[in-house]
Amino acid sequence: MLFYKKNGIPGVACGLGNLIFPDNSNLITGIVLEFAVPTAVVSLMWVTIYSGNNAMSLALVVIDTVLAPFLIPATLHVMVGSRVQIDVTQMMLQLIFMVALPAVLAMTLNQCSKGKTQKVLPSKLAPFSKMALIFVVASNSSGVAPYIRHMNLERMKVAGVILLLAAGGYAIGLLIARLMHQDRETQISIMYGAGMRNISAGAVIAATSFPGEVLFPVMIGTLFQQVLAALYGKIVCERNKDK
């Protein structure tokens, strides 16, 4: 599943981007980046809501996050490196500081406290984490404001491509789980693991490492991600009720 998520979806995104926007390397880079970022931590919330396999989802988020500093620069270098200038070293350092170190620190703290951290800190830090998330999204979204204000046909096509690929990520993840004959809980975990993206991390990378236009495909994904998560969760629940 991790191999598919890090190679299959970005590969399809790159192919579709080159097909529809052959002369705009910034949009292609943004589309690939949108689907190369690690699984969103918020996927754990959706897995809990729909009674999925929490242990598997947590493992997927942690592994994906820790590997992100190496996989994201490599993916971008292979797929769009010939068309845009990429500072791989700088990007790796940003990702290590932004996503990998917090994940390792959280695991270490939880292990040293014998699980007490997981029970105590989330409820106390929840208000601050939500405010921080709002700040990150708002500050990064400001970079895409000019492109939203001057919306044109090309950018509407970008939104359509992101919607198609995002919906496809959930659908293919669910299909793979069913072809592997996994139980319902595991199907839900794989579906959200394949479909949800850490868009905030992608936005920071786009804003600090690339021209402003790269940010547009990344941030437009925020319009669809949570809606699709709820829709697919509902679909899985309805299908299981019919059995």
- Domains of the chain (ranges; CATH) run 2-242 (1.20.1530.20)
Q: Is 161 left (phi over 0), alpha (psi -120 to 50) or beta?
A: alpha
Q: What is the pTM of this model?
A: 0.82
Find how far residue 235's CA is from the centre of its chain. 21
Q: How many helices (H) and strands (E) would you count in the chain? A: 14, 0
> What span, in angstroms and rounded, lies between the C-alpha atoms of 134 and 129?
9
Q: What is the pLDDT of residues 111-127, one digit of tens each?
A: 777 666 666 666 666 67
Q: What is the pLDDT of residues 171-186, one digit of tens each?
A: 988 888 888 888 889 9
Q: What is the pLDDT of residues 207-240, one digit of tens each?
A: 888 888 888 899 888 888 888 999 999 888 777 6
The structure tokens 């509902």 sit at 234
